[in-house]
Structure 1
Amino acid sequence: MKLIHGKTLRKYGRNIIKDAVTGDFHQADICLLKQYAELIGVIERQIEECRNALISMCQEHFPKQFKRLQSIPGVKERAASAIIAETGADMKPFEKATNLVGWCGLKPRNDISNNKVKSNRTTHGNRFLRQILIEISWVASRTRNCFFSNFSYVQCTQRHKNKMKIQVAIARKLLVAVWHMLTKDEDFIDVYLKRLEKQAEWQNDIQALESLLVG
């Protein structure tokens, strides 16, 4: 049961899955299952080859952008190559970060009538890039001592917001960071860590002043 996805367990139940696995299989069923397993293996190998080829092309044609994107928490080689593949590492078509967010489909709707919010769901856009950013947001929200994990913690514990909505908000912030990094040729700057560093400096200054006053 540990190898079965949680959604499958919740949808069909443990008993049905157990009966399906422990039932009687004919030779024809065994042959079909073997062929399906081999086909899945071939597809997985092809996907892995495509991913490795994409990483190699990014390292060859976009080395600076490829390395720079990996300075974002939660972004590794595969995620960076996927972002470059979808955006082309060129932010000139997007005048502002909001244009890129809207193109991706992470911009919330502004559907208000008679002072009533009818819908604040995200707009349609590049679903491939949006899916990548959502996956990155889950990793970033679990990365210790970074802006995104602190943001997720505050939104969940103090404001009691929906976890999925928080991930969409993090994905939006990630994409804004990508636009600034690729436009200005800058690495990712974690404002949370900068704030911690400033607080540490202030504490050191206060301690130094206290020691001078006592002395």
Structure 2
Amino acid sequence: MELVERVAALDIGKATLMACIRVPHEDKPGRRLQEVGEHATTTRALLDLADKLRCQGVTLVAMEATSDYWKPVFYLLEAEGFECWLVNAKHVKNVPGRPKTDKLDAVWLAKVVERGMCRPSFVPPKPIRQLRDLTRYRRTLVRERSSEKQRLEKTLEDAQIKLTSIISSLFTISGREMLQALIDGERSPKALAQMARGKMRNKIGALEEALTGHFSDHHAFICTMMLERIDGLTDRIEQLSVKIDDVMAPCTTQIEQLVEVTGVGRTSAQEIIAEIGVDMSRFPSSDHLVAWARYSPQAKQSAGKSKSASTGRGNPWLSGALGEIGIGVARTETFLGSRYRRIAKRRGKRRALVAVGNSVLTIAWHLLSDPDARFHDLGADFYESRLNKDRRTRTLMRQLEQLTGQRVTLGAAAA
């Protein structure tokens, strides 16, 4: 049974693609006419392909998510007015035992799609895609800057300069002044320690010990280059942040809604919107969003026994933002903080982060689905107020008996 009358499927490579077009046969009712051909992936060749698909009356074009090669093809055909589906290669895997060629893959994909045996992946609209490029590049530069800061710290360790054992960061005002003085030729630990400011001046003696090393002109040359790279990356990150603020001006309301959530800052809110968009109609419910992001528990049962299963690999950029939010709320006296600690105690920190990410996505779906919705924290005592008191009492008695080795009995409290 065909659910799509006129369909095309593309098996995409870097330089060429294989297109399979399946339409109803003009002379034989109930039969299909199939045409398979190879096309280049240049703009002119893709426009010729679009004209051919239009002449055949194709209404749906499907393609596998092959590296980044699908993007120019998808975007061009989408701009030409075609409904485009991006499908997960795992969902349309060919039958084992059959030969695997580009031609057969395109034919198989066309048959799978026309019968409604797969679902399209989420591809956001163009404004969100452009925003996504900006936020992902910013996160990439932040990671590169962090790596360069770690290299700088290792260079100082090589020179026996133990500043990071005394101060929280090399990039405070005092830390940068000491580092710049070392580069400029100052080698006296006492003179360097006197550059400390504020509360750091209580550590003058420890700073003198930490600044006693063998920092040479060789170390100064390397540190100079590292600092220039760090400062350059910082400037690029600031430029990207300004550009992102401008692009996200139409989403001010959604940003304000998300920032109200515990642990979600402006940067995290921007990254969440860049990955999932603001139109939640794409996800019928919050559960669909959580499952798409691979933050939903998976069922794995065999022979009547349930086994633990991973949630799977989802969007790494969204996972990075949710992970930072989870770490940020871990020590807060809020519902999310309580949820993290409650699960981390029993099942470990990684599962607790997944659980908090699940909750944040659920909250985000409800907020973005309703412009008038506002976040209300349920409180750190949400779980405690809903526990069965008798069950809780028995648990505490059992823990006390294990701790003391004595039997515990309850009595009436003194007046």
- TM-score when normalising by structure 2: 0.39
Secondary structure at the counterpart of residue 319 of structure 2: helix
The answer as to whether partners of 2:286 and 2:365 remain within 8 angstroms in 1 is: yes
**1:58-83, CA deviations, whole angstroms, 9 ceiling, x for partnerless residues?**
2x211111111111011121111111
Q: How does 1:45-124 map to 2 (within 5 A)?
A: 45-58=235-248, 60-124=249-313
* SS of alignment partner, residue 301 of structure 2: strand
Deviations 1:154-174 (A, max 9, x none): 3345xx321221111011111
- Alignment of 1:21 onto 2:159: yes
2:343 to 138, 155, 162: 155
Q: Which deviates more from structure 2 when the two are superposed, residues 24-33 or residues 73-82? A: 24-33
SS of the equivalent of 2:281 reads coil
Contact 1:104–1:127 under 8 Å retained in 2:
no
Shift of 1:125: 1.6
Verify: 1:39 aligned to 2:229, yes or no: yes
Superposed CA deviations along residues 23-46 of structure 1, whole A, max 9, x for unmatched, are 867756643432232112211221
1:12 equivalent in structure 2: none
Q: 2 CA distance for matches of 1:25 and 1:194?
A: 53
Q: Is the Cα contact below 8 Å between 2:337 and 2:380 reproduced in 1?
A: no
Note if contact 1:68-1:187 (Cα within 8 Å) is conserved in structure 2.
Answer: yes
Matched residue count: 182
For 2:252 and 2:214, the matched residues in 1 are separated by 55
Amino acid in structure 2 at the alignment position of 1:46: R
In the aligned structure 2, how far is the partner of 1:168 from the partner of 1:142?
16
> Structure 2 counterpart of 1:134, which letter?
G
Q: Which amino acid aligns with 1:55?
A: D
Conserved? CA contact 1:105–1:130, under 8 Å: no
Q: Distance in 1 between matches of 2:290 and 2:256?
A: 22
The structural deviation recorded for 1:147 is 1.0
Q: 1:65·1:89 contact (CA, 8 Å) conserved in 2?
A: yes
The answer (yes or no) to whether the contact 1:89–1:182 under 8 Å persists in 2 is yes
C-alpha distance 27-187 of structure 1, shift in aligned 2 (>3 A): same
> Structure 1 length as normaliser, TM-score?
0.71
Paired amino acid for 2:361: L
Find the partner of 2:375 among 164, 188, 198: 188
Higher strand share: 2
User: What is the alpha-carbon distance in structure 1 between the residues aligned to residue 374 and residue 324 of structure 2?
Assistant: 21
The AA in structure 1 aligned to 2:250 is H
Cα RMSD (Å): 3.2
Relative contact order: is structure 1 or structure 2 higher (C-alpha 8 Å, sep ≥ 6)? 1
**Contact 1:137/1:170, CA 8 A, preserved across alignment:** yes
Aligned-partner Cα distance in 1 for 2:290–2:279: 14
% of aligned pairs identical?
Answer: 25
CA distance in 1, matches of 2:307, 2:381: 39
Higher-Rg member (1/2): 2
C-alpha distance in structure 1 between counterparts of 2:216 and 2:328, whole Å? 43
Q: Deviations over 1:127-152 (max 9, x none)?
A: 101110111112223222x2112223
Aligned partner of 2:67 in structure 1 is: none
Instruction: Tell me which protein shows more helix as a share of its residues.
Output: 1
- Segments of structure 2 that go 5 or more residues without pairing to the other structure are 1-145, 161-212, 386-415
